[in-house]
Structure 1
Amino acid sequence: MKLPAAILTVFASIAVTIDASVYFKEQFLDGDAWKTRWTESKHKSDYGQWKLSAGKFYGDAEADKGLQTSQDARFYALSARFEPFSNEGKPLVVQFTVKHEQKIDCGGGYVKVFPADLDQSDMHGESQYYIMFGPDICGYSTKKVHVIINYKGKNHLIKKDIKCKDDELTHLYTLILNPDQTYEVKINNEKVESGSLEEDWDMLPPKKIKDPEAKKPSDWDDRAKIDDPNDTKPEDFDQPETIPDPDAKKPDDWDEDMDGEWEPPMITNPEYKGEWKPKQIDNPDYKGAWVHPEIDNPEYTQDAAMYKFDNIGVLGLDLWQVKSGTIFDNFLITDDVKEAEEFGNETWGATKGPEKKMKDEQEDIERKLREEEEKSKNKDTEDDDDEEEEDGEEDEEAEGEHDDETDEDAGTDEDSDAKLKDEL
């Protein structure tokens, strides 16, 4: 019996849904219960402390709560365990959100995926991991997305430069490793980089190497230009670079017994033409650049399982921050690319707009407060100037009144003296 194509499509869709798995999901929606699921490393005694917070601005006060670094200039080491699995034959998707609301100057915003045998209480910077993924910022020079893959016990950095987001808003980071040895990096659900594991990492030796037996022939001429053999140097070309100043004269008070023999100062020779070089012409024997022939690298062996990790079981935050305040949220590890995209839209996608609006409103309020403070300062300065002017005017008036009183008193005394003379 042959089933209709539409029914087969439905069955296929159901099969994909059933096969798809979410291995780890963390949104911190149950308050402090996260402390029972996450383990702090005791490898060092002074690791930075985490707190649950939505930050200073957010899209949803509850949904946007995540783990926030709370102490400056600290290492942080925290991890969560889940049921171990292998990604053999299926995609591996690692996704989370990061918000650097503190205007981060230097610090990590990445996660590490560990094997299930990790001792979480002793997790530290040298603990072997499978994958390190996420943004890293330090100064103006480092603003990149790390994609580091451990292959046969050695960590390999991606050879491409992937720029991360460096503003204060929440951003969604997604890494997809496919069983066909390809990968994709997404930021905010948009692809920013992709390629193959073999080409973009140096996990395998190169397929081709230069033939160690091959050597450039002794008569191989790879000079595109040569000196013109017919070009000769003009007879008057050789002139010294400097000559005695012909206009210089020995000072009248020059004493050869005391000062030695007088010599005129040297000046640049206007006839100097520099070093002579013959003209260049095309080399008639030029054979082009010699290319070293390559051979198959005997040390190269194709590995169709570079993408595969057999015992994935822990997600960790192992990083350093100079200025604290970064918030991690919406962690997801799955083998379903579509599930990750939809989860990103339901979380980050739903709150990114309100978050930006709240941030803009806060900045607008802060700007207005600064303007009011500036106006108030200016007004206080003007008032102080006015008071000084008024005090100056009052002092002048007081001095004027004092002069008038003095004149009146002087007049009274003169009148008394005149009257006294008349009486006499």
Structure 2
Amino acid sequence: MMLLKVIALLLAIGCLNAEVYFEEKFENDNWKTEWIYSKHPGKEFGKFVHSAGSFYNDADLDKGIQTSQDARFYALSNKFDGFSNKGKPLVVQFSVKHEQNIDCGGGYVKLFDCSLDQTDMHGESPYEIMFGPDICGPGTKKVHVILSYKGKNHLINKDIRCKDDVYTHFYTLIVKPDNTYEVLIDNEKVESGNLEDDWDFLAPKKIKDPNAKKPEDWDDKATIPDPDDKKPEDWDKPEHIPDPDASKPEDWDDEMDGEWEPPMVDNPDYKGEWQAKQLDNPNYKGAWEHPEIDNPEYSADDNLYLRNEICTVGFDLWQVKSGTIFDNVLITDDIELASKVAAEVKNTQAGEKKVKELQDEVQRKKDEEESKKNADKDDEDDDDDDDNTESKQETEDNGHDEL
């Protein structure tokens, strides 16, 4: 009983120590003053608008910031009190809704240190983490997980597919102090592993021994030609022969057309290039494997997970077709809190689908009515054309009668 109380106390202490570094639900218009647009020269930037989109579960709660102009760069950021995730999990979570059925564009966030000049944020600005979906045509539908290490950006070595429908989806990245990570979509784990294994942060532990060479007498041929196998004397036949059924055309003139030659056809007796039968090689030693040695340039790092300073979150992306809604941004060390927030996505999606199905049905009926109107108008036009034709014919006939 005492042990259970101690465990409960430790869990309570852990909850008390959990921190929310940044949270943004875009519930009102405060974001217009708290978030800063970049003014980096040479870029044509688009504007965000406060909207729940054209279909939603809750008109107020589902409001986020929506890209509003096609073929634009977007660069918007928010600075908060800086923190380090030393010894703690780092959770980055937000929701994305591509209700425009996006064809090409980013849907990710970036986390920066405190040195970022928000009014000059652009694609080359150094960042700590880039995370979220990226879609461009049928070939690119991935979740980016890019981490900075010693000033260089490193992409994850795994291919994580993102959602590509028109509904809201939550994306969650968890980086733990034991150098492991998880990626979740809609609160379900889609990828996980070890930072050292899945990113090229460090030099490889092993390298091929530069002093090792395959022995000259190493035989790596599994089979050899049978030395006793001889090519048959009647083997060699031409691949093509003159067509035996062809005959010289009757109107062929040798002086004018030259000497007639029958066209060539495939030779049914052609057997191809002769090759001796293969036998197992008695001297076969298998494929030679280059021996490896410890890489002197490898150095382990227990702090691959560590971000010494994070204090800015930003949307820095390009979209061909606008309409994406970003919402529910959460940066914390509380994994349970993030999971609880993301769990609401099922209700959000159910509401969105219900409203969209009703809208689609209304649109379908409208299209049917419009199509019927157009068909009726075409019939009326055809009738008018027939009447005009008959009237013209009557006029011509009357004219002939008078003559």
TM-score by length of 2: 0.91
Q: 1:368 to 1:265 in 2, by over 3 A?
A: closer
Q: 1:382 to 1:82 in 2, by over 3 A?
A: same
Alpha-carbon distance, 1:29 to partner: 1.1
Alpha-carbon distance, 1:18 to partner: 1.1
Which of residues 331, 334, 338 is equivalent to 1:333? 331
- 1:227-306 aligned at under 5 Å gives the runs 227-244=225-242, 253-255=253-255, 266-306=264-304
Alpha-carbon distance, 1:205 to partner: 1.0
How far apart, CA to CA, are the structure 1 residues paired with 2:118 and 2:234?
84
1:39 maps to 2:47: no
Letter in 1 for 2:31: W
1:6 maps to 2:4: yes
Letter in 2 for 1:219: D
Matched residue, 1:367? 364
Alpha-carbon distance, 1:176 to partner: 0.4
Matched residue, 1:344? 342
Question: Residues 303-346 of structure 1, C-alpha deviation per residue, up to 9 Å, x if partnerless?
Answer: 00000000111001000011111110010000010010112234
How far apart, CA to CA, are the structure 2 residues paired with 1:272 and 1:295?
54
How far apart, CA to CA, are the structure 2 residues paired with 1:341 and 1:263?
83
Alpha-carbon distance, 1:241 to partner: 2.9
Letter in 2 for 1:35: K
212-221 vs 306-315, greater mean Cα deviation: 212-221
Matched residue, 2:125? 127
Matched residue, 1:63? 61
How far apart, CA to CA, are the structure 1 residues paired with 2:215 and 2:64?
66
How far apart, CA to CA, are the structure 2 residues paired with 1:268 and 1:391?
66
Letter in 2 for 1:358: V
CA contact (8 A) 2:20 2:330 kept: yes
Alpha-carbon distance, 1:52 to partner: 0.9
Matched residue, 1:84? 82
CA contact (8 A) 1:209 1:296 kept: yes
How far apart, CA to CA, are the structure 1 residues paired with 2:264 and 2:56?
76
Letter in 1 for 2:354: K
Letter in 2 for 1:371: E
Alpha-carbon distance, 1:395 to partner: 8.8
47-56 vs 382-391, greater mean Cα deviation: 382-391
37-46 vs 182-191, greater mean Cα deviation: 37-46
CA contact (8 A) 1:250 1:264 kept: no
How far apart, CA to CA, are the structure 1 residues paired with 2:254 and 2:25?
94
Letter in 1 for 2:62: D
- 1:16-415 aligned at under 5 Å gives the runs 16-31=14-29, 33-44=30-41, 46-244=44-242, 253-255=253-255, 266-346=264-344, 348-386=345-383
How far apart, CA to CA, are the structure 2 residues paired with 1:92 and 1:245?
78
Alpha-carbon distance, 1:16 to partner: 0.8
SS of the equivalent of 1:371 reads helix
Question: Residues 196-215 of structure 1, C-alpha deviation per residue, up to 9 Å, x if partnerless?
Answer: 11111111111111111111
CA contact (8 A) 1:107 1:321 kept: yes
5+ residue gaps, structure 1, are: 407-424
Alpha-carbon distance, 1:58 to partner: 1.0
Letter in 1 for 2:230: T
How far apart, CA to CA, are the structure 1 residues paired with 2:231 and 2:317?
68
Cα RMSD over matched residues?
A: 2.6
How far apart, CA to CA, are the structure 1 residues paired with 2:44 and 2:249?
79
Q: 1:359 to 1:269 in 2, by over 3 A?
A: closer
Matched residue, 1:410? none
How far apart, CA to CA, are the structure 1 residues paired with 2:124 and 2:232?
70
How far apart, CA to CA, are the structure 2 residues paired with 1:250 and 1:385?
57
368-377 vs 167-176, greater mean Cα deviation: 368-377
Letter in 1 for 2:8: V
How far apart, CA to CA, are the structure 2 residues paired with 1:278 and 1:378?
74
Q: 1:113 to 1:239 in 2, by over 3 A?
A: same
Alpha-carbon distance, 1:262 to partner: 6.2
Letter in 1 for 2:270: Y
CA contact (8 A) 2:181 2:193 kept: yes
Q: 1:86 to 1:234 in 2, by over 3 A?
A: same
Q: 1:6 to 1:250 in 2, by over 3 A?
A: closer
How far apart, CA to CA, are the structure 1 residues paired with 2:226 and 2:63?
77
Alpha-carbon distance, 1:289 to partner: 1.1
Percent identity of equivalent pairs? 61
Alpha-carbon distance, 1:388 to partner: 5.6
130-139 vs 358-367, greater mean Cα deviation: 358-367
232-241 vs 170-179, greater mean Cα deviation: 232-241
Q: Which has the larger radius of gyration?
A: 1
How far apart, CA to CA, are the structure 2 residues paired with 1:311 and 1:184?
21
5+ residue gaps, structure 2, are: none
How far apart, CA to CA, are the structure 1 residues paired with 2:40 and 2:324?
22
SS of the equivalent of 2:81 reads strand
Letter in 2 for 1:307: Y
